[in-house]
A and B are shown apart, each in its own frame.
Chain A
């Protein structure tokens, strides 16, 4: 049982480049989330999807877009990466509680 799988694990981008972070869960959960984690700060919600076909903004959505491709997959896209988006990105899923997290994508924007 893989749980929540994120790809890639590491990525280095140059300012202005674009990329998509992939997330898939095999627990048949309706809700999926994207968080970012920065040193000295708690996890901050970027976007979430309460169910297939719906997405909503979280606390820090600027500079990001998401797609809930199907019940299993929820992707996060950076259209024009900025150094301020250097962070660790976590995808999570849940069915009521608790959250199940992937192991993160470590993104560096130079």
Chain B
């Protein structure tokens, strides 16, 4: 069964610190992996998208890595800010054209405190 597992479930860090969120998947075939940020009370917003051939992609202070061999991805947040407090969702696509192609993780809730 295609699955996406995220860890940790929740995380609390001090403002200015770095953190890394993990995503493991068993989706096959694999097309791409996306990280979304979801602020409280809002819809998810795309941060990065990576295909099989991409190992690293950055978006400002957010850096995503992908190891397609071990089927693992991480999202590293540098110099965290209060506005980084949100849920981060890992989504893997099996590449089919069907709307069911996207498999969502349950998310990691990040709280940044001052």
Task: List chain A positions with a Cβ less than 8 A from chain B.
Answer: 4, 31, 33, 40-45, 48-50, 56, 58-59, 90, 92, 97-104
Question: Chain B: how many interface residues by the 8 Å CB criterion?
Answer: 22
**CB distance B97 to A103 under 8 Å?**
no
**CB distance A33 to B99 under 8 Å?**
yes
Task: Please measure, in the bound complex, the distance between the C-alpha atom of A102 and the C-alpha atom of B106, giving whole angstroms.
Answer: 19
Task: Please tell me which stretch of B39-47, B52-60, B66-74 contacts chain A, meaning at least 4 of its Cβ atoms lie within 8 angstroms of it.
Answer: B39-47
**CB distance B43 to A102 under 8 Å?**
yes
User: Which chain B residues lie closer than 8 Å to A33 at the CB level?
Assistant: 99
Task: Please measure, in the bound complex, the distance between the C-alpha atom of A43 and the C-alpha atom of B49, giving whole angstroms.
Answer: 18
A103 and B41 in contact (CB under 8 A), knowing A40-B106, A97-B32, A98-B46? yes
B89 at the interface (CB under 8 A from A): yes
Can you name the residue of chain B whose Cβ is closest to the Cβ of A98? B46
**CB distance A4 to B43 under 8 Å?**
yes
| Contacts beyond the supplied A45-B100, A100-B46, A104-B42: 10 A-B pairs with Cβ under 8 Å | A31-B99, A42-B105, A42-B107, A44-B104, A50-B97, A50-B98, A90-B44, A98-B34, A101-B45, A103-B42
Task: List chain B positions with a Cβ less than 8 A from chain A.
Answer: 4, 32, 34, 36, 41-46, 49, 89, 93, 97-100, 102, 104-107
User: Which chain B residues lie closer than 8 Å to A92 at the CB level?
Assistant: 43
Can you name the residue of chain A whose Cβ is closest to the Cβ of B87? A37
**CB distance B99 to A42 under 8 Å?**
no
Can you name the residue of chain B whose Cβ is closest to the Cβ of A42? B104
Task: Please measure, in the bound complex, the distance between the C-alpha atom of A4 and the C-alpha atom of B44, giving whole angstroms.
Answer: 12
A sample of 8 inter-chain contacts (CB < 8 A) reads A33-B99, A50-B97, A90-B44, A98-B46, A98-B49, A99-B102, A101-B45, A103-B42
Task: Please measure, in the bound complex, the distance between the C-alpha atom of A71 and the C-alpha atom of B48, giving whole angstroms.
Answer: 27
| A-B CB proximity, top 10 nearest | A48-B99, A101-B43, A42-B104, A98-B46, A43-B104, A42-B106, A103-B43, A101-B44, A103-B42, A102-B43
Task: Please measure, in the bound complex, the distance between the C-alpha atom of A58 and the C-alpha atom of B98, giving whole angstroms.
Answer: 9
User: Which chain A residues lie closer than 8 Å to B46 at the CB level?
Assistant: 98-100
User: Which chain B residues lie closer than 8 Å to A44 at the CB level?
Assistant: 104
User: Which chain B residues lie closer than 8 Å to A103 at the CB level?
Assistant: 41-43
